[in-house]
Structure formats: C-alpha cells, structure tokens
Amino acid sequence: MKNIIVILAITVYFTLSQAFAEVGKLGEPNNVSRVIAVEMTFNRFNPSEINVKRGETIKFILKNISKKKHEFMIDTMDNLKKHAEMMRKYPDMEHTESNMVTVASGKTGELIWQFTEVGTIDFACPMHGHSKGMRGKIIVTDN
Ligand SMILES: [Cu+2]
C-alpha cells in the first residue's frame, strides 16, 4: 500500500511539473550564449539574483563549496514548494527532472537552460530545510 501511495504521489508530481512554459526549457549545448557560475555555500546561492535576456541559453555552472549535498532547481515558486514537500516526505527520492541538478559536496554540476518568456523566475535548493535560505531569482527582460 505504501508503495502505491509513493507511485501516485510521484505521478501527480511529474504531471504538475510538466508546465514549464513560463520558466523556459532545457537548453541545447550548441546554443549556449553565456556561462554563469553560481556558488552553493552551506546555506546560500551566490549570486542569488541573476539577469538574463529573453531567448538566451545559459549554462549554469554550480559549484558546491559546502560540506553537504545541494540541488539547483529552476521553476515557479509553487512548483519549488511542491518539490520541497516531496523531498521532505521522500528525502532519498531519485531525480530525473530536466530543470534541476544535484551537486555533491565539493563537486561542480551544470544545467543548460533557455529562457523563453519575460518575467521573474525562481530557483531554489528543494532539499529538506534548505529552501528558506537557498533561493534566488532570475530576471528575464527583453533587449
Ligand atoms: Cu541545499
């Protein structure tokens, strides 16, 4: 019974997380227009505010300089909160979502993302207890 609930919860979660339209989409490595380095400290992202132009494909280099594992997830605040709730219930869940990357202590990860809509997009580390401090904004503007 417990397994069925887990599968149901994950199915609902993935269905909800398909709505990427307003935050952009996974970028193509050949189209990267800019590289932005982001440090993951013990409880912060640095920088926590990032400016991009609509249409840009950014390669984010995530450098985890802390002693614990972190994640970098780009999404709406609603979806980030839903994901954080899933992580609280199932802290060891494996991730395959395209809009996030998991980075072990001392390691570097990368995520290529294309910003297709003007607006403010959120990012956060959805790991349990992290997202209060580990969050930031990506501001997408027209030229
Ligand atoms: Cu974290």
Residue 40 sits in a domain whose CATH number is 2.60.40.420
Do residues 124 and 131 make contact, with C-beta atoms less than 8 angstroms apart?
A: yes
Parts of the chain with a pLDDT under 50:
17-18
Q: How far does the centroid of ligand 1 lie from the alpha carbon of residue 134, in Å?
A: 6
Output the pTM of the full model. 0.83
Q: How far does the centroid of ligand 1 lie from the alpha carbon of residue 11, in Å?
A: 24
**Residue 85 CB coordination number (10 Å):** 14
Report how many domains make up the chain: 1
Residues facing residue 3 across a β-bridge: none
What integer pLDDT is reported at residue 93 of this predicted model? 76
Domain that holds residue 81: 2-141
What integer pLDDT is reported at residue 21 of this predicted model? 62
Considering only CA atoms, give the Rg of the chain.
15
Q: How far does the centroid of ligand 1 lie from the alpha carbon of residue 104, in Å?
A: 10
